[in-house]
Structure formats: structure tokens, C-alpha cells
Amino acid sequence: MTGKGVGMGEWRNSTWGEEISLEYGKSLRDYNTGSGKYRVYGSNGPIGWTTHPLAKGPGVILGRKGAYRGIQYRG
């Protein structure tokens, strides 16, 4: 992958692995559909709420199975 870095003024070569980290999600069983401070996402998008997040945001969510419903960004 080739890209122009912000404020660098020159093109540089890089790979996805040098720019980002892809992590496998964790299963969250203690969530509900009505309340909580943090949104819970499944492979196909939002599925509920919880009071205890598993990861610190912001982040990009890429579903790994099921019907493709796009990429989710949550700040």
C-alpha cells in the first residue's frame, strides 16, 4: 500500500500491518437491547447496549461473518 502521510510532504511505501492492527472481537453475553451507556455491535451492526465496554474507542468494526452490512466507525 502506498499513501501520503499527513504533514510528511513525501510519498512512502507501507503495508496494512505497519499502519493498523486487526483484532478478533470478544463475545459479550451480558448485554440488553434497551439500556446501557455503551453500544454493542455484532457482525451485522448494532445489537444492544452494555454498561461495561470491552475495548477503548474510537475504532472501526469489520464484521467477519454473516451478511455484509458495511463497515462501522464509532468514536
How far is 38 from 32, CA to CA, in rounded Å?
Answer: 11
What does the pLDDT read at residue 5? 52
Contact 3, 14 (CB under 8 A): yes
Tell me the pLDDT tens digit for each residue of 22-43.
Answer: 777 777 777 777 788 888 887 7
**pLDDT given for residue 56 in this prediction:** 82
**From the first residue on, what is the mean pLDDT of each consecutive set of 10 residues in the chain (75 residues)?**
58 87 75 83 82 81 69 68
- pLDDT, position 1: 47
Supply the pTM of this predicted model: 0.55
